[in-house]
Amino acid sequence: MQIKYLSLLFFFLLAVSFNIYAQDATDKNKPPVNLNAAFEELKSKSTDYEDYEVIKKLRLNNFWKQVTDTLSVKESAYKTSQAEIKELKTKIMEMEIEMQKKDKQVADSQYLVDHLEVLGIPFNKNSY
């Protein structure tokens, strides 16, 4: 009976230790949040050889991938912003043209209100 409990306890402890190890491994493999943190991690995990820093190719490749991913995201956001700016400029130009047309219509209407035509000759209502 004791052997059964001891073996059950042994398997329980073994399962818990694998679970803890799996959680530690995933935390260590998480990429850093930003490029500065990634660069600092790259420097801290490198080794020294005389005046040189020795960096594993895998870490260097992972850092470069993170750099290119970050740049592509920023470039995509930049292109989206540029397209939006171009669209807004076009709308502003269309609104300015529309406003000029309306200003001309208002000026023409005001002219008709202020003037009176007699025999095809326009007279100002104040002077008539």
pTM value > 0.85: no
The pLDDT value recorded for residue 104 is: 95
pLDDT tens string 43-74: 788 887 777 778 788 888 888 888 999 999 99
Q: How far is CA 1 from the centre of its chain?
A: 63
pLDDT tens string 10-48: 556 666 565 554 444 445 566 667 778 888 887 788 887
Q: For residue 109, how many C-alpha atoms fall within 13 Å in the half-sphere facing its CB?
A: 6
User: Measured between alpha carbons, how far apart are the two ends of the chain, in Å?
Assistant: 125
